[in-house]
Structure 1
Amino acid sequence: MLQTKKWFVGLLLGLAACTSSPQASLKPDPAADAAAIREVLTTQTAAWNRGDIPGFMEGYWKSDSLVFIGRSGPTYGWQQTLTNYQKNYPTPAAMGQLDFSGLRVSVLAPGAAQVIGRWHLARPAAGDLQGYFLLVLRQIDGKWVVAADHTNSELPAKK
């Protein structure tokens, strides 16, 4: 647990120090950054809900350094994350309709932010899924992208 906390703190400090966005050195505008980050999530939701996983993945950092932590542990890299999504959600019916709620967007430093929220997949045939997430975003070349995604899922209620 302590090792995980040290890794996460190191990641956040590294992201804050290593932004590659020329805009990050300009006067910070946290409200505009938060709005841009919310737009990334809105665009991802729309892509998911039309069954477009590659479109959904446009919100992620196209890098081997992207990390997605889910039920199976960490996955590294944009391509492997895409492959996992396509494997786990092979059809629009399996994907369902995605909704994010309770979003808390925090700009940590110029070019670095985090989002905490709740996700819900409405899937009438396969059963709903839901849980919480923590995203770490970076502003790269003027565009906000998810650099780290830690998503959990709640166990379905027993009937």
Structure 2
Amino acid sequence: MMKKIAMVCLGCMLAMGAFAQSKADRQAILDVLEKQRGAWNKGDVEAYMQGYWKNDSLLFVGKSGPTYGWQQTLDNYKRGYPDKSAMGFLTFGIKKVDFLAKDRAFVLGSWNLKREKDEPKGYFTLLLRKINGQWKVVVDHSS
């Protein structure tokens, strides 16, 4: 009986440890998104892009179709949002953060831009990877 209780407690401790790691990683992911939102609202596209994987394999899918690469994605943002008024005020509504593996996560959320003349909104799905200890967006599908 004592051996069985010890095994159950060890299992509980392992489960709690895994949960704590996921909880910390979940917060780290939310922090990445919050830093992006803050940078966007300051009109700083370059700082916003720091949440993305700086790699030619970064994939962004928007209304114009897929774009590969960090630099191309940055260039597209600069063309589409040439100044602070075009960027507006961004808010996110995070609906779900699911861990697919210890170093991969899926995020579902909504976005809303308040601008002087309009208020576009939509949804996004993100795939994030933990690269060199930091969570980075590797795939972004926004609509």
Q: TM-score, normalised by structure 2?
A: 0.85
Answer yes or no: is the 8 Å Cα contact 1:121–1:130 preserved in 2: yes
Alignment partner, residue 115 of structure 2: 123
> C-alpha distance in 2, partners of 1:144/1:71?
25
Pairwise CA RMSD of aligned residues? 1.0
Between 1 and 2, higher relative CO (CA 8 Å, sep ≥ 6) is seen in: 1
Is the partner of 1:124 in helix, strand or coil? coil
Separation (CA, whole Å) in 1 of partners of 2:48 and 2:71: 13
Q: Which residue of 2 aligns with 1:63?
A: 55
Q: Partners of 1:119 and 1:50 in 2: how far apart?
A: 16
Q: Is the 8 A contact 2:90 2:113 kept in 1?
A: yes
Q: Which protein has the larger Cα radius of gyration, Structure 1 or Structure 2?
A: 2
CA contact (8 A) 1:33 1:107 kept: no
Tell me how far 1:102 sits from its aligned partner: 3.6
Q: Cα deviation per residue 1:136-157 (whole Å; 9 max; x = unaligned)?
A: 00000000000000000xxxxx
Spell out, residue by residue over 1:2-48, the C-alpha distance to the aligned partner (whole angstroms, 9 max, x if none). xxxxxxxxxxxxxxxxxxxxxxxxx7511111000000000000000
CA distance in 2, matches of 1:58, 1:52: 10
Amino acid at match of 2:65: G
Deviation at 1:118, TM superposition (A): 0.3
**Structure 1: gaps spanning 5 or more residues:** 1-26, 153-159
The separation in 2 between residues aligned to 1:103 and 1:96, in whole angstroms, is: 22
Measure how far apart 1:53 and its partner are.
0.2
Amino acid at match of 1:89: Y
The structure with the largest helix share of the pair is: 2
For the residue of structure 2 that corresponds to 1:108, the secondary structure is strand
What is the Cα deviation at residue 103 of structure 1?
Answer: 2.9
Query: Could you say which residue in structure 2 is the equivalent of 1:81?
Result: 73
Q: Which residue of 1 aligns with 2:102?
A: 110
Say which of 30, 42, 49 aligns to 2:34.
Answer: 42
Unaligned 5+ segments in structure 2 are 1-16
SS in 1 for 2:55: coil
